Amino acid sequence: MTVVFADRMEFLRASEIREILKITQRPEVISFAGGLPAPELFPVEEMKCVALKVLEESGKQALQYSTTEGFEPLRKQIEVRLNKKFKVDVKYTNILITSGSQQALDLTGKLFLNPQDIVLCESPTYLAAISAFKAYKPNFIEVPTDDDGMIIGELEKILQTTVNIKFIYIIPDFQNPTGRTWSLDRRRQFIEVINQYEIPVIEDNAYGELRFEGEVLPAIKSFDSKGLVIFVSTFSKTFCPGLRIGWIAADTQFIEKYVLLKQAADLHTSSISQREISRYIELYDFEAHIKMLAEVYKGRRDAVVTAMQKFFPQNVRFTYPQGGLFTWVELPRHVSAKALLERCLKQNVAFVPGDSFFPNGRIENTFRLNYSNMPEERIYEGIRRLSKEIENY
Amino acid sequence: MTVVFADRMEFLRASEIREILKITQRPEVISFAGGLPAPELFPVEEMKCVALKVLEESGKQALQYSTTEGFEPLRKQIEVRLNKKFKVDVKYTNILITSGSQQALDLTGKLFLNPQDIVLCESPTYLAAISAFKAYKPNFIEVPTDDDGMIIGELEKILQTTVNIKFIYIIPDFQNPTGRTWSLDRRRQFIEVINQYEIPVIEDNAYGELRFEGEVLPAIKSFDSKGLVIFVSTFSKTFCPGLRIGWIAADTQFIEKYVLLKQAADLHTSSISQREISRYIELYDFEAHIKMLAEVYKGRRDAVVTAMQKFFPQNVRFTYPQGGLFTWVELPRHVSAKALLERCLKQNVAFVPGDSFFPNGRIENTFRLNYSNMPEERIYEGIRRLSKEIENY
- Domain for residue B66, yes or no? yes
CA angle B344, B350, B356 (to 5 degrees): 110
Contact B243 A44 (CB under 8 A): no
- For an interface test with B, give the residue of A12, A163, A270 to mutate (most B CBs within 10 A): A270
pLDDT of residue A40: 97
- Domain for residue A3, yes or no? no
pLDDT of residue A25: 76
Q: Does B261 touch chain A (CB under 8 A)?
A: yes
Contact A100 B266 (CB under 8 A): yes
Domain boundary at B242, B265, B283, which? B283
- Domain for residue A246, yes or no? yes
- Condensed to tens digits (0 to 9), the pLDDT of residues A356-380 reads 999 998 789 999 999 999 999 999 9
- Domain for residue B2, yes or no? no
DSSP letter for A220, please: G
Domain boundary at B283, B315, B345, which? B283
Question: What is the average per-residue pLDDT within A180-186?
Answer: 98
Q: Rounded mean pLDDT of chain A?
A: 95
Contact B271 A242 (CB under 8 A): yes
pLDDT of residue A349: 95
User: Which residues of chain A make contact with B261, given a CB cutoff of 8 A?
Assistant: 12, 135
Could you please report the per-residue DSSP string of B274-338?
HHHHHHHHHHS-HHHHHHHHHHHHHHHHHHHHHHHHHHS-TT-EE---SBSSEEEEE--TT--HH
pLDDT of residue B25: 76
Q: Are residues B223 and B356 in the same domain?
A: no
- Angstrom distance (rounded) from CA B308 to CA B380: 9
Question: What is the average per-residue pLDDT within A271-293?
Answer: 98
Tell me if B256 sits within 8 A of A18, measured CB to CB.
Answer: no
Chain B, nearest residue to A167 by Cα? B3
Chain B, nearest residue to A52 by Cα? B48
- Domain for residue A318, yes or no? yes
Chain A, nearest residue to B113 by Cα? A6
The domain tally of chain B equals: 2
User: Which residues of chain B make contact with A129, given a CB cutoff of 8 A?
Assistant: none
User: Which residues of chain A make contact with B56, given a CB cutoff of 8 A?
Assistant: 48
Of the pLDDT bands very low, low, confident and very high (cuts 50, 70, 90), residue A3 is: confident
Facing B52 at nearest CB: one of A52, A198, A270: A52
Residue B39: which CATH number?
3.90.1150.10
Rounded percentage of chain A residues whose pLDDT exceeds 90 = 92
Does position B109 have pLDDT exceeding 70, yes or no?
A: yes
Q: Are residues A21 and A66 in the same domain?
A: no
How far CA A150 is from CA of A189, B1, B290, in Å, comes to 10, 23, 56
Domain boundary at A234, A254, A283, which? A283
Facing B2 at nearest CB: one of A198, A240, A257: A198
pLDDT of residue B13: 76
Q: Bridge-partner residues for A96, per DSSP?
A: A248
Q: Are residues B32 and B171 in the same domain?
A: no
Does position A301 have pLDDT exceeding 70, yes or no?
A: yes
Facing A63 at nearest CB: one of B1, B39, B103: B39
Q: Does A268 touch chain B (CB under 8 A)?
A: yes
ipTM of the complex: 0.96
Chain B, nearest residue to A105 by Cα? B265
Residue A173: which CATH number?
3.40.640.10
Question: What is the average per-residue pLDDT within B144-167?
Answer: 97
Q: Rounded mean pLDDT of chain B?
A: 95
Q: Are residues A292 and A160 in the same domain?
A: no
Helices (H), chain A: 16-23, 44-63, 72-86, 100-112, 127-134, 152-161, 184-197, 252-266, 271-283, 286-311, 337-346, 376-392
User: Which residues of chain B make contact with A48, given a CB cutoff of 8 A?
Assistant: 51-52, 55-56, 59
pLDDT of residue B60: 97
- Angstrom distance (rounded) from CA A266 to CA B117: 22
How many residues are given for chain B? 393
Chain A, nearest residue to B267 by Cα? A102
- Domain for residue B4, yes or no? no
Residues 144-203 of A with CB under 8 A from B: 166, 197-200
Q: Does B12 touch chain A (CB under 8 A)?
A: yes
Q: Are residues B154 and B118 in the same domain?
A: yes
Question: What is the average per-residue pLDDT within A166-180?
Answer: 98
Q: Does A60 touch chain B (CB under 8 A)?
A: yes
SS3 A87: coil
User: Which residues of chain A make contact with B1, given a CB cutoff of 8 A?
Assistant: 198, 226
Q: Are residues A76 and A140 in the same domain?
A: yes
Q: Are residues A190 and A326 in the same domain?
A: no
**Between chain A and chain B, how many beta carbons pairs sit less than 8 Å apart?**
234
Does position B305 have pLDDT exceeding 90, yes or no?
A: yes
Q: Which are the contacts of B235, defined by CB distance < 8 A and separation ≥ 6?
A: B241, B243, B245, B246, B277
pLDDT of residue B27: 86
Facing B261 at nearest CB: one of A64, A65, A135: A135
Does position B367 have pLDDT exceeding 90, yes or no?
A: yes
- Condensed to tens digits (0 to 9), the pLDDT of residues A10-46 reads 878 777 677 777 777 788 999 999 899 999 999 999 9
Of the pLDDT bands very low, low, confident and very high (cuts 50, 70, 90), residue A50 is: very high
Q: Does B253 touch chain A (CB under 8 A)?
A: yes
Question: What is the average per-residue pLDDT within B235-246?
Answer: 97
- Angstrom distance (rounded) from CA B347 to CA B124: 27
Of the pLDDT bands very low, low, confident and very high (cuts 50, 70, 90), residue A85 is: very high
Does position A132 have pLDDT exceeding 80, yes or no?
A: yes
Sheet holding B201-204, edge to edge: B95-98, B246-249, B229-234, B201-204, B165-170, B118-123, B139-146, B149-150
Q: Does A3 touch chain B (CB under 8 A)?
A: yes
Question: What is the average per-residue pLDDT within A178-194?
Answer: 98
Q: Are residues B131 and B229 in the same domain?
A: yes
- Domain for residue A304, yes or no? yes
- Condensed to tens digits (0 to 9), the pLDDT of residues A218-255 reads 999 999 999 999 999 999 999 999 999 999 999 999 99
pLDDT of residue A184: 97
Contact B62 A242 (CB under 8 A): yes
Q: Does B41 touch chain A (CB under 8 A)?
A: no
- Condensed to tens digits (0 to 9), the pLDDT of residues A302-318 reads 999 999 999 999 999 99
Q: Closest Cα of chain A to B242: distance in Å? A: 4
Q: Are residues B180 and B264 in the same domain?
A: yes
Residue A349's H or E segment, with its range, is: strand A349-350
Q: Closest Cα of chain B to A309: distance in Å? A: 31
User: Which residues of chain B make contact with A130, given a CB cutoff of 8 A?
Assistant: none
Q: Which are the contacts of A78, defined by CB distance < 8 A and separation ≥ 6?
A: A92, A95, A247, A249
SS3 B349: strand
User: Which residues of chain A make contact with B117, given a CB cutoff of 8 A?
Assistant: 6
Facing A270 at nearest CB: one of B198, B242, B257: B242
Q: Are residues A34 and A66 in the same domain?
A: no
Facing B99 at nearest CB: one of A61, A99, A132: A99
Q: Which domain holds residue B253?
A: 45-283
pLDDT of residue A22: 74
Q: Are residues A231 and A338 in the same domain?
A: no
Going by C-alpha positions, the residue among B75, B269, B105 that lies closest to residue A273 is B269
Residue A328's H or E segment, with its range, is: strand A326-330
User: Which residues of chain A make contact with B6, given a CB cutoff of 8 A?
Assistant: 110-114, 117, 136
Chain B, nearest residue to A138 by Cα? B6
- Domain for residue A37, yes or no? yes
Of the pLDDT bands very low, low, confident and very high (cuts 50, 70, 90), residue B181 is: very high
Q: Does B284 touch chain A (CB under 8 A)?
A: no
- Condensed to tens digits (0 to 9), the pLDDT of residues B31-67 reads 999 899 999 999 999 999 999 999 999 999 999 999 9
Rounded percentage of chain A residues whose pLDDT exceeds 70 = 99
Contact B198 A5 (CB under 8 A): no
Give the alpha-carbon dihedral of B82, B88, B94, B95, to 10 degrees. Answer: -20
Q: Does A22 touch chain B (CB under 8 A)?
A: no
Q: Are residues A300 and A375 in the same domain?
A: yes
Contact B63 A241 (CB under 8 A): yes
β-pairing, A139-146 vs A149-150, is antiparallel
User: Which residues of chain B make contact with A236, given a CB cutoff of 8 A?
Assistant: 65
